[in-house]
Structure 1
């Protein structure tokens, strides 16, 4: 009886082992070897070439005014003050140096018989200050000299009828005194910096890489986000190329940047601040786009995409348009909204 029982146990164990072997799951070889292809979809919508960079709210770039006459500085405009046409910037030996408006620097003495654009610029300023009795043209006439003497008397200058180049400073408009570079009592030497000035309007200044120059065109609108979350619309008013010199042991490399000046509506409560500046170079509406990763370089040139269907896949050639935010505009006779395309890994 004991031997028969032992045989029965062995038989049962063997059968159980066979059943377990037959029921062992076939997927034990590893699920990782079976991967689904990555795909994207052709979608229709608006594609915009945009970029947000940090800008600085302030009064724009500054300029240093240098003295062109020698003597002793006896007065300087206050820091933060606004100096307008006809007003005094500083005094040397108690004689004023006056701000006038224009883009042509004073480079010579103006007296009767002199002709040129600088004469007309001076006469335009005299007229704007309310003086009459002369003709605004490019000729410094006796009538002009008579008016200049009246102007000099009002300023407390000797009535010579001659305007020396160091007595006036020309700027495109009113200026804001950003800093003093000398003090009252200092000796004024020709070429010595006296005041640092800027414009009077609040602006946002942004420096872009040369590769992003397409973003900034004069007159275009930009979105400005202030530190408190307030959003304002600005307008690009000036675009210029500047060269920044790095200082590494005195021998830094130079970097070319695109400096963009943006006008904005009045801002209160902020003297200077960092501002998020969103540029939009171009917008394409109702266009078909795919992820940039879907593009394939074709042997014959150009680009194509792999179209995935339930029965397989095939390549189609496409024309590319705007690239933005990881997507690209595509077109072609076989491109339709909703197509599934492959995304090569």
Structure 2
């Protein structure tokens, strides 16, 4: 019995020894390397760059600012153009009492009857300049401080030839309203008058001939917009094209719903290149203005910012340390950062 007990004890020792041999390698293996959160994140570099923010607003595609035409010519309307017609220098714009009223380019309207040789003024200069541009030979020297043109006999003779061309009596005299003076060719918009209406009533609206975009802005927002500013225009089909601010009007008072008034400014925008054929003549578009630009600032992706419990932001270095920073301009997923230890080329952690 004793010998049997001794055999069992020996077997038990062998079994324990065998079990211990099998688990020993696991206990003696070097522990697996531990990784920190910072080491599993991507890093980025603080860069020096120029940041630009932008504002996108709605606008209307058309042909620029519309103006309503009236005439001081007495009589009845006997001919009107079709909407969309383009009228150029020397061409008929409408007719009164079956007499064509033509378009002249310039800045001074025909405000008096030009019927005496020797008359001098801006209206005489307009007539002379237009007839010269239309190919009529004349002698009309400019004189005076303003270098205005004198009505010479040569100019009177040129007026007569022009009157024959447009089909009116060649009197050599131009009266108030015999021509409409505008700053260039026009495109006819809405025709408001009808044949037989008094010519003193509003006749039609006209605009420029090049496609343009009109944007209405609050006066406060429009103070940041200047003539010549570059913009991006997004058309109805999603295509984008560059443009520039052509003009910014003086504020106009628009009635508010509560009876108050709010200042508005009209911004006219021209295309750098004419829109492709087939582009609609009108409709809603989007215009992107540059709102703010800061050059040579240090910046990182917004994902590199860490919000600090005590307030403010910090950047995390690859070794886990936090670097407090002051934020500046945010633009297109990038943020301006500054601080005593923030330098160009510094590596920081960014959220992946």
The reply to whether TM is greater than 0.5 is yes
Displacement, 1:87? 0.7
Q: Report the counterpart of residue 257 of structure 1 in structure 2.
A: 265
- Matching of residue 49 in structure 1 with residue 53 in structure 2: yes
Displacement, 1:334? 4.0
Q: Report the counterpart of residue 11 of structure 1 in structure 2.
A: none
Cα separation, 1, equivalents of 2:290 and 2:257: 35
Give structure 1 stretches of 5+ with no counterpart.
1-40, 296-303, 341-345
User: Per the alignment, do residues 252 and 215 of structure 1 end up closer, same or farther by CA in structure 2, a change over 3 Å counting?
Assistant: closer
Displacement, 1:129? 0.8
Q: Report the counterpart of residue 289 of structure 2 in structure 1.
A: 279
Q: Report the counterpart of residue 212 of structure 2 in structure 1.
A: 203
Q: Report the counterpart of residue 342 of structure 2 in structure 1.
A: 335
- Matching of residue 158 in structure 1 with residue 183 in structure 2: no
**Is the contact between residue 218 and residue 238 of structure 1 (CA under 8 Å) also seen in structure 2?**
yes
Displacement, 1:315? 7.2
- Matching of residue 174 in structure 1 with residue 181 in structure 2: no
Displacement, 1:322? 5.1
TM-score by length of 2: 0.70
C-alpha RMSD of the superposition: 3.4
- Matching of residue 103 in structure 1 with residue 107 in structure 2: yes
Match of 1:71 among 68, 71, 75: 75
Displacement, 1:214? 5.4
User: Per the alignment, do residues 336 and 120 of structure 1 end up closer, same or farther by CA in structure 2, a change over 3 Å counting?
Assistant: same
Q: Report the counterpart of residue 3 of structure 1 in structure 2.
A: none
**Is the contact between residue 120 and residue 136 of structure 1 (CA under 8 Å) also seen in structure 2?**
no
Cα separation, 2, equivalents of 1:154 and 1:324: 62
Match of 1:115 among 115, 120, 127: 120
**Is the contact between residue 47 and residue 284 of structure 1 (CA under 8 Å) also seen in structure 2?**
yes
Q: Report the counterpart of residue 24 of structure 1 in structure 2.
A: none
SS at 2:194's partner residue? coil
TM-score by length of 1: 0.71
Q: How does 1:176-191 map to 2 (within 5 A)?
A: 176-189=187-200
Match of 1:141 among 134, 144, 152: 152
Which structure's CA Rg is the greater one? 2
User: Per the alignment, do residues 339 and 98 of structure 1 end up closer, same or farther by CA in structure 2, a change over 3 Å counting?
Assistant: same
Displacement, 1:148? 1.0
Give structure 2 stretches of 5+ with no counterpart.
1-43, 143-148
Q: Report the counterpart of residue 7 of structure 2 in structure 1.
A: none
User: Per the alignment, do residues 109 and 294 of structure 1 end up closer, same or farther by CA in structure 2, a change over 3 Å counting?
Assistant: farther
SS at 2:210's partner residue? coil
Q: Report the counterpart of residue 268 of structure 1 in structure 2.
A: 277
For residues 36-62 of structure 1, give each alpha carbon's deviation from its aligned partner in whole angstroms, at most 9, with x where no partner exists. xxxxx9943441121111121111111
- Matching of residue 246 in structure 1 with residue 221 in structure 2: no
